[in-house]
Structure 1
Amino acid sequence: MSQIRGFLTFLCETRFEDLSGDVIQQAKICLLDLIGTAAGGSTLPGPHIIRSHAARFFGAGEQASRMLFDGRPVSAPGAALAGGSMIDGLDCHDGHALTKGHVGCAILPAILAYYDAFGRDRTGQDLLTDLVIGYEIGTRMGIALHDTACDYHTSGAWNAITCAALGARIMNLDMDAARHALGIAEYHGPRSQMMRVIDHPTMLKDGSGWGAMAGVSAAYLAQDGFSGAPALLVEDRKSAPLWQELGDNWRIHEQYFKLYPVCRWAQPAIAAALSLKASHDVDGDEIEAVTIHTFHQGCRLFQGLPTDTEQAQYGISFPLAVALKYGAINAAHISGAGLTDPDVIQLCGRIRIEENGKFNDRFPAERWARAEILLKDGRMLESPDTKAAGDPDTPIADGRLALKFDELAKPVLGQARTKRLMESILTLDTPGYLIIPLLDDLLNPVD
């Protein structure tokens, strides 16, 4: 019992005053990145279908929550489903190497759903604290699942338990009810196999929407007295070292950030190719052939010509061709008309992906690639072994992440709302800052 008691003590008793300044700053950066990604994802077909589904089948009832950047009231589980699917819809959000997934994608929509249902008196400090607790618990949930499961499951599988835990905290459940919430969420969570969607990219993505929904539902069920079996990811002795370090080792600092809206597994290859493009001033029209050497999971990414944004986001050849043509990748490149760009399609056919055993040995803690570019004049360019920017040891400057937020949000939300959101996030730790205006900016419909 001491293991689960320590977990629940951290969950229920951690306060803003327990957080250091650097942890609070990291939480703001994560929040900014998640909201920018949500804005970009709100325009895509998959999230649109999910929002329509939630509006039809997840009625608001007594405690309504508005859907992220939509405004329609639905149940709290429905709002969490919609928000998690929206962020998951654009593969541009933060992640963690050892979880092989994304913590914030599910926990932010769950927190917003809980707050809008009954917690609109919360402060910015409350939001930052709940977000940090979610990252600390969620990161460990992901590591624990991958250490104990025989297959690679999506983020929704382990984040369901995290979202239930946050519900127990926000709803002030007692420790017995909170323990049941964890068990219900673990049992009902989507134990979905990630590599199936890598091999066949679809709107299922990383399961975060369904995980958020299952977790929020579990918290409400526990509040009503529904019982669940003990959550193994929290209570099994094998995971004890992870939970014993809560409050001492702040794993929110281990999250990575992305420059481009495609799978993290493709980004070392993109970084390697872009380093050659920049150092040798290579134009896409000069390229005869490209060979990428990377780890097995990167090789499993979609290598054909995408017919939808899911194939482009979970691809490697197409986004690499975009980068070689334009020097960067934005949301327009991997959706809509961007999928039919003739120059990118031509370049895509000149790319070959090869597996590298040395890089396999370093995965998942590290993701590496090397690029070789053969030019039409016969020159062969070769990059060094390369990691993508954004890992804790290769950080992206806060200013660049702020620019990324602006690039994602402004086309969808407009300049005034984008600016207001950024200013709100940067001042959340101000004492007494009530988040009602921020909630309204996040949950009201897009003009």
Structure 2
Amino acid sequence: MGCPAAEGRPEEENSVNDGQAVLHRNATHFITDLRYEDIPDDVVARIKDHLLDTIGIAIVASRAVASRIARDTAFGLFGAGAAAPSARMLFDGRRCSVAGAAFAGAMQIDSYDCHDGYPPSKGHIGVVALPSLSAFAQGIEGHNGGKLSGRDALAALVMLYEVAGRCGSSLHASVPEHHVSGAWNAIGVAALGARLLGLDHERLRHALGIAEFHGPRGLVMRVIANPTMLNDGSGWGCMSGITAAYLAQQGFTGAPATTLEVRDAASHWADLSSRWLLREQYIKPYPVCRWAHPLIDAALRIGSENAFTPEDITAIEIATFATSAALYRGMPQNTSMAQLSLSFPVAAALARGRVGPDEVLGSGLNDPKLQRLVGLTGIRADETYCALYPKQQCGDVTVVLSDGRRITSGPSRARGGPDAPLSEAELVTKFSSHANDLLGVERATAIRQAVQDLDRPDARFDNLQQLLLAPIPPV
């Protein structure tokens, strides 16, 4: 039978040309050879902020039902052979395979939607950075990663952020759909693994290709329309990246990673090592989808600047961009729905003056005051805000009161990014609010200090690692 002409095949001028396009020199050397000394001081400070923030997310996320299910599943299904590399799961302590521990850690962090992100990639990197580093370090060094220096750990994390972010923006420039983060952060995880495993450039290339091919290509808007525990696909992305590195180490081959190697991707890699994407990441102040954040800030501002009670509110009007308007509009029945909703966090901001763990994990889900306000909320997509997205995420809130007042916030932008960063005090408060109650102040403080000390010449990653692997005491 004859072979029909292929449809949708890249044009010859955009095809992979034996690895010469982008990856062969610049990216491979960056992945394997980036040193701590090559990284600007402010980028080192940023990676420590992101690491501490992600650790805090992993701590509070241990309470989420999805997190518990993922850890139990990893322990039950993804064990390691007697002579195979193994790793303990973050804040759990049980041992499974390296891939299983990384999968569980990424699923855990992804179950509490307060982790960092990079707008051009339309997704998240830190969610896989911490669990993959922890798992690989344990697998490589026997059990606890004792030989990995603090500075080497920081350099590996910076490399992962820079590579994964570019893979994400490259992917989304090549397709019309909005794919989950696991589709491209898997490649960053494979790069981390190849670096720590000491793979040569040929096997590194195969690892990246394997990870891209097997990374989950789930569609984000499907999850937005049906909020469940699927989240952003990063658990499977992390597992794909880990597995890809070990497969390539054994000689398994993969097709070239198109997000790095086709010529159309070149623009995303031309500034590698001169433009640091860590400077462009955001850190979330609230544990819900980033698309809701401008409206939460608008609601908090209205509440703080005006005198009224939740009972005085007769209507809430939200104007935002289209993808934000697509978020869930009803009263959420569980954490997954709460974190992918818009009316609910705005109602919490107005009625409680906050949107935090208790709102999405605890009593907020059964609060009749919030349910009433959710029912009073109208949402529309505004052309002006749609035109600004994704570079800017903006919107406004109007509150109508029983005395006839209409209070409008005016345009509001999401905080936490480079244009409106969280202060050092806010970052510490966020971590402490996540860690102190569950770990105790002593252990939480020790984690903060260990992260801060990672760039000392004598620091070992294991000093931090051991604080992350011990189980969280029962509440």
Same fold flag (TM > 0.5): yes
The Cα of 1:435 is off from its aligned counterpart by 1.9
Residue in 1 that maps onto 2:22: 3
CA distance in 2, matches of 1:247, 1:125: 17
Q: List per-residue Cα deviations over 1:121-153 (Å, max 9, x = no partner).
A: 111111111111111111111101110122110
| Contact 1:276–1:282, Cα closer than 8 Å, also in 2 | no
Residue in 2 that maps onto 1:114: 136
Residue in 1 that maps onto 2:460: 434
Aligned to 1:113, the other structure's residue is in SS state helix
Q: List per-residue Cα deviations over 1:215-269 (Å, max 9, x = no partner).
A: 0000000001100000000101111122121110001010011111111000111
The Cα of 1:337 is off from its aligned counterpart by 3.1
Q: Which has the larger radius of gyration?
A: 2
Residue in 1 that maps onto 2:11: none
Q: List per-residue Cα deviations over 1:271-323 (Å, max 9, x = no partner).
A: 11111111213322221111000000011101111111000000011111111
Residue in 2 that maps onto 1:59: 79
Residue in 2 that maps onto 1:71: 93
CA distance in 2, matches of 1:87, 1:249: 27
Residue in 2 that maps onto 1:376: 402
The Cα of 1:437 is off from its aligned counterpart by 2.6
| Contact 1:262–1:312, Cα closer than 8 Å, also in 2 | yes
Q: Does 329-338 or 104-113 show the bigger shift?
A: 329-338
CA distance in 2, matches of 1:339, 1:126: 42
CA distance in 1, matches of 2:78, 2:342: 36
1:20 maps to amino acid: P
Match of 2:373 among 329, 336, 347: 347
Aligned to 2:178, the other structure's residue is in SS state coil
CA distance in 1, matches of 2:462, 2:361: 33
CA distance in 1, matches of 2:117, 2:288: 12
Does residue 21 in structure 1 map to residue 41 in structure 2?
A: yes
Residue in 2 that maps onto 1:196: 222
| Contact 2:288–2:340, Cα closer than 8 Å, also in 1 | yes
Structure 2 gap segments, 5+ residues each: 1-19
Residue in 2 that maps onto 1:259: 285
| Contact 2:47–2:157, Cα closer than 8 Å, also in 1 | yes
Residue in 2 that maps onto 1:419: 445
Aligned to 1:98, the other structure's residue is in SS state helix
Residue in 2 that maps onto 1:96: 118
Q: List per-residue Cα deviations over 1:6-50 (Å, max 9, x = no partner).
A: 110111111000011101000011001100111111110001001
The Cα of 1:2 is off from its aligned counterpart by 5.7
Report the TM-score when normalising by structure 1.
0.98
The Cα of 1:108 is off from its aligned counterpart by 1.7
1:290 maps to amino acid: I
| Structure 1 residues 166 and 313, CA gap change in structure 2 (3 angstroms) | same
CA distance in 2, matches of 1:97, 1:370: 20
Does residue 324 in structure 1 map to residue 343 in structure 2?
A: no
Does residue 290 in structure 1 map to residue 304 in structure 2?
A: no
| Contact 2:21–2:262, Cα closer than 8 Å, also in 1 | no
Does residue 268 in structure 1 map to residue 268 in structure 2?
A: no
Aligned to 2:429, the other structure's residue is in SS state helix
Over the matched positions of the two proteins, sequence identity in percent amounts to: 42
Report the TM-score when normalising by structure 2.
0.93
1:154 maps to amino acid: V
Aligned CA RMSD, in angstroms, stands at 1.0
1:22 maps to amino acid: D
Q: Does 327-336 or 259-268 show the bigger shift?
A: 327-336
Aligned to 2:314, the other structure's residue is in SS state strand
1:11 maps to amino acid: I
CA distance in 1, matches of 2:402, 2:262: 58
| Contact 2:113–2:339, Cα closer than 8 Å, also in 1 | yes
